[in-house]
Amino acid sequence: MVTLAIDLYRSATTHPAVIRAGRWSLRLATRLLARALNMPEPLLHSTGAFVVAQVQATEARAAKTLCPFRLLRQFWTRRRTGR
């Protein structure tokens, strides 16, 4: 039963009509968002790429500071120095 569902999903997502409908809905959403923000579509794409890059850099910095080994090293260093 599960394999039948997986096969159905794969065939539906690779069907040309589904792909066309997905692309059409993505273009429509982009146009509607650009109109709502009163900006041209190319600027909306550029801004989106910039935001994604900023969020990715922030997440990388946060992940680096929350690294378990780094936190453990800081803990032991503070414990030895008495801070």
Residue-wise pLDDT for 5-38, tens only, equals 777 777 777 778 888 888 999 899 999 999 999 9
Residue of higher predicted confidence among 75 and 7: 75
pLDDT at 83: 61
Residues 45 and 81 in one domain: yes
pLDDT at 3: 76
The domain of 7 spans 1-38
Quick check: 82 pLDDT over 90? no
Residues 57 and 25 in one domain: no
Residues 19 and 48 in one domain: no
Cα separation of 53 and 32, whole Å?
23
Residues 55 and 19 in one domain: no
Please choose, from the candidates 60, 63, 30, the residue with its C-alpha nearest in 3D space to the C-alpha of residue 47.
Answer: 30
Cα separation of 56 and 48, whole Å?
12
Please state whether the predicted TM-score (pTM) of the whole model is above 0.85.
no
Residues 28 and 46 in one domain: no
pLDDT digits (tens, 9 = 90+) for 42-68: 999 899 889 989 998 998 888 777 778
Which region holds residue 80: left if phi is over 0, alpha if psi is between -120 and 50, else beta?
alpha
